[in-house]
Structure 1
Amino acid sequence: MRGNVFIRYGLPLLVALPISFLVLYPQVFWCLIIGSSADFRLFTSGTTSLYVNRTATANQQLQFRQHTQIAFDRIRRFWGDKRGRAILIYCPKQIDYQRYCAGGEGAGCSVGTPWGNAYLILGPEGNNTDVIAHELCHDELFSRIGWWRVKRQIPQWFNEGLALMVDYRFSNPTVWEQPDSSEQTSPFSEEMITPSFPQRPILTLTELETTRDFFGGDHTHTMLAYQTAADEVARWLAVVGRAGVPSLTNAISAGHEFNESYRQLERKRRKRIDKQEDAKSTR
């Protein structure tokens, strides 16, 4: 009897769920079948697959592969190693980019599935090292703690703030490239022109917990969200150092909550710094 009930009710549900997911998120479907698309040319970089739309010129193809390699090296320095296995998809034309990235906004986006597939889509403005490194950083977080934990535990301000640390369009590389320096540096690059936000209240981290919180407002809100996220993660990194990033993801993978692990790493590091300062003062 139980077997008949499962066949009658359970089996159709198991079939309907993934179909419904793909109907609601068609970009996932297009990413899943990228390997059989005649519109893309496949390249490889180590263990990473790079799909480049055939509308890309020879120069665009070369630049994309070069920018990708530099971005890979940046990720290895930041995280200590590279574990992400996302497939990269480059669409030099907006019409193609919109098919693979919902809404077609921004220079790049990440697409992940609950069963572990990950894709990084780069649009017409995404063929540069900073955009690629930004998206790769999202993939590293996804790869190290899993899709479910990222969606359920990681606040969006941390996910974006972390990616901004390797995105030198918005951040200063000395924030983490020189982790032993005691000099306080701004998280934002000198080249970045920070706009003024008249009559806009400062955003708090609790207002940037979800994707909707972060990106649900107008352009000014999103830029303020990026600034708030970058400021906080840069501040935290200045205390815990570059090693704090993998330490945090390891703790979350072991079952610890994000908020407590995030604060605990900072508390431990501050105690160590205080002891070192006390030791210096008694010499």
Structure 2
Amino acid sequence: MRIFKILLSVFILLLFASFIFFKKDAIACEMIGQTHFSKISTNLYVDDSLDEAQKSNLIEAINDAIERVSNVYGNPISSPRIIATTEDKYSSFGFNPTGMQASGFFRECIFLGPKGLNTDVIAHEFVHAEVRYRTGPLVELTQLPAWFIEGTGIKVDYRRPFLLENIEITEEELAKVKSIFFLSDFPNTSVKYYQASRIAVEPMHTKSLYSGLERLNNGEKFEVVFRL
């Protein structure tokens, strides 16, 4: 009996440790108000690495990003929590040098690193938050391919490599990226894959995105709804 209790305790500890490791970004999202990050406006938290001018520029970039998303897809409703820093030392909590969107337990969240404090990155991540907010884990895992998730984000990302006039993708390269379903298999350091994802979603009428996601929620299949 004693050995069983010890093994059970070890199992519970390992399970808890695994949960902390795999959901550290969600935990950081929810608990950010308990850290040294300060809330400077609704759903916006920054650390003291940003000076007043950077904070002001960030707020302006966020407003511009929301306007861009609205113009392309329609008004967003997700209101993600945005957490920003100019430091590189928080990678273990969800930050990378540019930006990353993650789902918390009760909200969507966007982490912005030093290279992500601009309209392009924020708009890109905002679309990810909107797609996840309007669907959910089950629809994302079973219906939304990685190239679609990334392509809809790249559509509002006007950094030079992602503009249509700067993209040259072969049919083979396009087919290769469209064969990737899970985000964990998507090479997120490859510009070519992001470019191919941008081309893959180009035929979609942008204003149909939100209604299409609702149709997926109602049980329709991705291939029928978006026909990409």
TM-score under structure 2 length normalisation: 0.83
Cα-to-partner distance string for 1:208-232 (whole Å, 9 max, x where unaligned): 212233217xx5xx22211211111
The separation in 2 between residues aligned to 1:23 and 1:213, in whole angstroms, is 19
The structure-2 alpha-carbon separation of the partners of 1:127 and 1:15, relative to structure 1 and needing over 3 Å to count, comes to same
Cα-to-partner distance string for 1:98-137 (whole Å, 9 max, x where unaligned): 13326x3x51001114x44321000000110000000000
Cα-to-partner distance string for 1:229-260 (whole Å, 9 max, x where unaligned): 111111x22xxx33221221121111112122
Q: Verify the 8 A CA contact 1:207 1:213 in the aligned structure 2.
A: no
Q: 1:202 — aligned with what?
A: 173
Q: 1:280 — aligned with what?
A: none
The separation in 2 between residues aligned to 1:18 and 1:152, in whole angstroms, is 27
SS at match of 2:82: strand
* RMSD between aligned residues: 3.0
The separation in 1 between residues aligned to 2:134 and 2:26, in whole angstroms, is 21
The separation in 1 between residues aligned to 2:54 and 2:150, in whole angstroms, is 27
Match for 1:202: what amino acid?
E
Segments of 5+ residues of structure 2 without an aligned counterpart are 1-10
The separation in 2 between residues aligned to 1:116 and 1:37, in whole angstroms, is 18
Q: 1:5 — aligned with what?
A: none
SS at match of 1:202: helix
Residues 41-190 of structure 1: pairs in structure 2 closer than 5 A: 41-45=38-42, 49-96=43-90, 98-101=91-94, 104=96, 106-113=97-104, 115-169=105-159, 188-190=163-165
SS at match of 2:186: helix
Q: 2:24 — aligned with what?
A: 26
SS at match of 2:206: coil
How many pairs align? 219
Q: Tell me the percent identity.
A: 25
Bigger radius of gyration: 1
Residues 246-265 of structure 1: pairs in structure 2 closer than 5 A: 246-263=210-227
Cα-to-partner distance string for 1:25-63 (whole Å, 9 max, x where unaligned): 33332222101112x120224xxx000111111111111
The structure-2 alpha-carbon separation of the partners of 1:166 and 1:227, relative to structure 1 and needing over 3 Å to count, comes to same
Segments of 5+ residues of structure 1 without an aligned counterpart are 1-12, 172-186, 267-283
Q: Verify the 8 A CA contact 1:101 1:121 in the aligned structure 2.
A: yes
Match for 2:33: what amino acid?
G
Q: 2:196 — aligned with what?
A: 228
Q: Verify the 8 A CA contact 2:28 2:94 in the aligned structure 1.
A: no
Q: Verify the 8 A CA contact 1:112 1:147 in the aligned structure 2.
A: no
1:82 deviates by 1.4
* Structure with greater contact order relative to length (CA < 8 Å, sep ≥ 6): 2
The separation in 2 between residues aligned to 1:36 and 1:63, in whole angstroms, is 25
